[in-house]
Amino acid sequence: MESLSARKRGPVVALAAAVLVSGYAQTGYAQISKGNWILINRGLQVQAMVTRDDVFHLNTYSNAYYTSIHWLWDSNPSLMGTAPGFPWSRWTGDETKVPPLGAEGTYLSQLVTLQLGDEWNLNDAATRTRAVNWFNAIRNNFPNTILYMNNYGGQVGDAQLGDFITRARPDMLSFDAYPWRSDYVSRNPIGGSPVSWYGDLRRYREHARANNIPLALYVQTFHAVQDYDQTVYRDPSASELRLNHFGALAFNAKVLTDFTYNTGASSLFTTPGGDSNPTALLAEKTDVNRRARNLGKALVRLKPIADAVFPDLHTTSIMFLRGKNSSGTPNPIPIGFVADPDAPNSYTDWVANRNDPYLRGWAVTNKAGVRNNGQPGDVIISWFKPLDESFDGPNYTNEIYLMVVNGLTDPAGTAADCLQEIKLNFAFPSGITGVDMLDPASGQVQTQTLPIVNTRRQLVLDLNGGDAALFKFSDGAPFVGWPAPARLILQKQSNTAAISLQGAVGARYQLEAASSLASTNWAMLTNLVLPSSPYMFTDTTSSNVSTRFYRVVGVP
């Protein structure tokens, strides 16, 4: 944690600045949308669908590292703590259910996302127009809340979805698809690569990034039997739960909502419902949430690189290293991807130097060897770049980030049972010897010098089933989301203090003041995501103070 202090004699004033989400439109990031800016300020969201009709303990919820409550239809503000309370979101069934209802009014400043309807038939023109009118009618009432609608994965055609986005201008796209199932007759779990889910992710990812808005999805944390279509949804295993999260993050999802949390169908608690009796999966979920939030410090500031242009518009900014099933047959390729012509059974379309300058090869080993008959599973490699070029810092451009996900899962056992060793080989120039790795467990960025193996620098990742790694090449550029050491310059302007703050654009800083350097009681003046560097604040409320010290603290 870096800090600098500045001292001023004579009258000074306290900091006045419109910051946080309410200032997103004034930041100068023309290409960063409202939804993305809210997430930069609030962080990547891991929510769960909570019903007010079952037992709910806020401490249990917050201790599991959830970022906000997502109320199923109706909220109970008394369970969110003293106003303004814990951050929250809500389903809104129709136009008459828009917040604030009941006691919600004093909690509105913490309303993060608002889902308008669920699984409406947007293929129907009249229904789609109704949805469009709803968004347009209430948009200005929620400048600091992400407004969106949710549909199931294959529900809405591309043309109809595109028309809805163009006319309704949602702040985010969302879909639900639940990949973990069992056979209806035998009830035996169905395992393997969730290829259909990947296809839904890819389609919604394309619509979201084409419109510069975030992507959200529902995560499977429930079990249910649908007799009408003979579908059995089962509780996910530890590795499947992890892939449900980190696979989604590799496809640029930034809001993940568990379906469900405290109902009787929850995978996280035992019957009769409520959150009093956790299952073993809650501990896994807690670790997953912590890791997702740590990775999210960077991911909310990133977006996919551009795809290479092909007539069929297939995806090249994500590559699947194709795993095999237990019999040794290559896993299917998701819709929107194509097999590489040079090695069709090994990976999807990839060309050296296209997505980054350095990757030259890889090797994947089912290191645990206890699942999938020892055969390797899928590995996902996804390439990102900063949402805004200024996030690279003033001296760097075109920084590339890579996310690697172990796609090997199994319906039984532990995530460690699906451990894979993933070796990536890089042809670095003389000035680069390693990578800057974001540790998902600690949330710290660590520089790793890579050993030379057969003339290449080699990164070895040991990832449990469903887990992920995020890194960039160690070329000196700042890691997005992490505050660099900041500098304060103090000037006097018309008997007030003008404070110039220089730091990493897009990172969060806290400006504090005290009456002496030795003080242990530094008062926070503001907490903000730095919109430019330098950035000027004016201190206007302490003109009767003769001496004041300032410092700035980086907030990771």
| Same domain? 468 vs 545 | no
375: which strand partners? none
C-alpha dihedral, 28 to 34 to 39 to 41, nearest 10°: 50
Q: Is residue 434 part of a domain?
A: yes
| Same domain? 56 vs 204 | yes
Among 29, 48, 46, CA closest to 37? 29
| Same domain? 141 vs 196 | yes
| Same domain? 418 vs 547 | no
Q: Residue 476 corresponds to which amino acid?
A: G
| Residue 289 and residue 256 in contact, taking contact as beta carbons nearer than 8 Å | no
What is the predicted pLDDT for the residue at 451? 99
| Same domain? 143 vs 286 | yes
| Same domain? 514 vs 487 | yes
183 alpha carbon, distance to own chain's centre: 32
What is the predicted pLDDT for the residue at 30? 54
What is the predicted pLDDT for the residue at 519? 81
| Same domain? 214 vs 337 | no
Q: What total of structural domains would you count in the chain?
A: 3
| Same domain? 281 vs 332 | no
Name residues of the chain where pLDDT drops below 50. 1-27
Q: Is residue 308 part of a domain?
A: no
| Same domain? 281 vs 399 | no
Could you tell me the CATH number of the domain that includes residue 124? 3.20.20.80
| Residue 64 and residue 45 in contact, taking contact as beta carbons nearer than 8 Å | no
What is the predicted pLDDT for the residue at 29? 55
Q: Is residue 306 part of a domain?
A: no
What is the predicted pLDDT for the residue at 27? 45
Q: Which residues does 521 contact at the CB level (< 8 Å), separation at least 6?
A: 514
At residue 513, the 3 state secondary structure works out as: strand
DSSP run (H or E) holding 160: helix 158-168
Residue 85 backbone phi and psi in degrees, to 5:
75, -175
Could you tell me the CATH number of the domain that includes residue 529? 2.60.40
What is the predicted pLDDT for the residue at 18? 30
What is the predicted pLDDT for the residue at 190? 98
What is the predicted pLDDT for the residue at 310? 95
Which residues constitute the domain of residue 166? 44-299
172 alpha carbon, distance to own chain's centre: 13
Q: Is residue 312 part of a domain?
A: no
**Where does a domain end: 421, 447, 473?**
473
The tokens of 455 are what?
A: 């003339």
Q: Is residue 195 part of a domain?
A: yes
**Where does a domain end: 452, 473, 494?**
473
| Same domain? 271 vs 389 | no
Q: Is residue 134 part of a domain?
A: yes
Among 488, 480, 458, CA closest to 551? 488
111: which strand partners? 88
Q: Is residue 33 part of a domain?
A: no
**pTM of this structure:** 0.91
**Where does a domain end: 473, 502, 520?**
473
| Same domain? 458 vs 414 | yes
What is the predicted pLDDT for the residue at 466? 99
Q: Is residue 313 part of a domain?
A: no
| Same domain? 398 vs 511 | no
Q: How far apart are CA 316 and CA 381, in angstroms?
A: 10
